[in-house]
Amino acid sequence: MVGKPLDTGSSREYSPNHARTGLLVIREMIETAIGADIGGTNTKLVLVDPLGDVRLREMVPTPRGEDPEAMLDEIGVAIVRFRARAKASGYTVVGTGLATPQFTDGPDWIQRHANNMPALEGYPIRAQLVEAIGGPLALLYDSGGAAIAEKVFGRGRDVSRLLTMSIGTGISIGVVTEHGFVDYNWGGTGDSGQIIVDPDAIERCPCGGRGCLESVAAAPAIRRAGIEAIARGEETSLAEKHAVHGDIEAADVVAAAASGDPAAIRIMRQAGRFIGIALASYVHLFRPELIALCGGVAQAGDLLLEPIRLTVADLVSPWYLERLVGIEMSAFPLDGAAIGCAALVFRPELVPAARP
């Protein structure tokens, strides 16, 4: 890692004979920003330089409980501790960008649809975080952060219209066009996981709607489809997994599909089909040149990409299809939200409302 500062253009004063102090001098010349992706389970912390290289990484459990003040205090402490670690390693930290899995309303950063962190529902988080962490502080919806990372540092650098889709416990998109980040729902490009792709779905989505993309193609739906396949007595390696562990995860279905399990492959194809249907609509809405996929479920790679590409090719108007260069895996499969929110410290013009 210590070799990395040489690539930053700040290496003028470096000579190979420099001892550790020499490297620290160079690091102090490099401005870095902290990105914190506050997820429902874990909080990912990254220290990012202006070229998008991650200099330090850390993961801490996201505090739980019913007291929003205590929760924010604990998040603040973790970030301040990480910043101290960065400074001790010789880096200059110029600001912090936060990603949250819920929407943020207004200048006080009131949290909306905080399904994964119910303690924060309706709670204004800005003042307390500014006090705990200090500024400059930026904040964005997590899938927006992933889109910013892809645009600034990833595969979207050379395209003028980019759409990223985060597929994990939930599903959502982020869009960046030549005019900047498309923000028309409290920091998100819509509540895009709730687009309807299966009007015949029987079960209700946790959002209260029915047939939403998220309810039929995100990790919980993949896990559920695996359990249903076992219950139907389908021949699948998932049955053995379930017998041993008493449960299965979406990741088990992905792994089984990768090893050729027919039931698991069918489940992934079905999920890919639904995602493709949603993307077909998003292509017509946003006219992206590139679509990049990230998140835990997207780690299925070609198992998911293949049905998605086939579905999009089948459904989308040729005019839009000709202008869609590709549907690819993200350059930042799992920590784009944290990296992108750190990038907002360097590139505030991309999301003026995030106020670094």
CB 270 within 8 Å of CB 197: no
Q: Which stretch binds Zn ion (CB under 5 A): 131-139, 212-220, 267-275, 335-343?
A: 212-220
* Interface residue with Zn ion, options 119, 207, 329, 334 (CB under 5 A): 207
**220: contact with Zn ion by CB under 5 A:** no
The least distance separating Zn ion from the CB of residue 278, rounded to whole angstroms, comes to: 12
CB 204 within 8 Å of CB 194: no
* Interface residue with Zn ion, options 205, 254, 290, 343 (CB under 5 A): 205
Q: Letter for the amino acid at 111? A: Q
CB 161 within 8 Å of CB 289: yes
**162: contact with Zn ion by CB under 5 A:** no
**H or E stretch covering 100:** strand 92-100
Closest CA to 292 of 344, 334, 253: 334
Whole-angstrom Cα distance, residue 161 to residue 24?
39
The least distance separating Zn ion from the CB of residue 215, rounded to whole angstroms, comes to: 5
Q: Which stretch binds Zn ion (CB under 5 A): 34-42, 89-97, 199-207, 320-328?
A: 199-207
> In terms of CB distance, is 114 or 351 closer to Zn ion?
114
> In terms of CB distance, is 192 or 194 closer to Zn ion?
194
Q: Which stretch binds Zn ion (CB under 5 A): 37-45, 187-195, 261-269, 309-317?
A: 187-195
**194: contact with Zn ion by CB under 5 A:** yes
> In terms of CB distance, is 172 or 311 closer to Zn ion?
172
Closest CA to 128 of 102, 108, 100: 108
Binding mask of the shown chain, residues 39 to 58, with x at each position contacting Zn ion by CB under 5 A: --------------------
> In terms of CB distance, is 163 or 171 closer to Zn ion?
171
Enumerate the β-bridge partners of residue 338: none
The least distance separating Zn ion from the CB of residue 170, rounded to whole angstroms, comes to: 9
> In terms of CB distance, is 113 or 347 closer to Zn ion?
113
Cα-based distances in Å from 318 to 105, 276, 280, 313, 333: 38, 15, 11, 8, 29
The least distance separating Zn ion from the CB of residue 208, rounded to whole angstroms, comes to: 7
Residue partners of 281: CB distance under 8 A and separation at least 6:
195
Give alpha helix (H) positions in the chain: 20-29, 68-88, 126-133, 142-153, 213-217, 219-231, 237-245, 250-258, 262-286, 302-315, 318-323, 336-346
> In terms of CB distance, is 56 or 207 closer to Zn ion?
207
Residue partners of 244: CB distance under 8 A and separation at least 6:
none
> In terms of CB distance, is 50 or 211 closer to Zn ion?
211
Binding mask of the shown chain, residues 68 to 87, with x at each position contacting Zn ion by CB under 5 A: --------------------
What does residue 207 show for φ and ψ, rounded to 5 degrees? -75, -10
The least distance separating Zn ion from the CB of residue 52, rounded to whole angstroms, comes to: 33
Q: Which stretch binds Zn ion (CB under 5 A): 197-205, 244-252, 307-315, 323-331?
A: 197-205
Whole-angstrom Cα distance, residue 54 to residue 58?
11
> In terms of CB distance, is 134 or 209 closer to Zn ion?
209
Q: How many residues bind Zn ion (CB under 5 A)?
A: 5
**209: contact with Zn ion by CB under 5 A:** yes
The least distance separating Zn ion from the CB of residue 121, rounded to whole angstroms, comes to: 17
* Interface residue with Zn ion, options 30, 176, 182, 212 (CB under 5 A): 212
> In terms of CB distance, is 78 or 216 closer to Zn ion?
216
Q: What are the DSSP calls for 282-346, one per residue?
A: HHHHH--SEEEEESTGGGGTHHHHHHHHHHHHHHS-HHHHHH--EEEE-SSTTTHHHHHHHHHHH
Binding site for Zn ion (CB under 5 A): 194, 205, 207, 209, 212
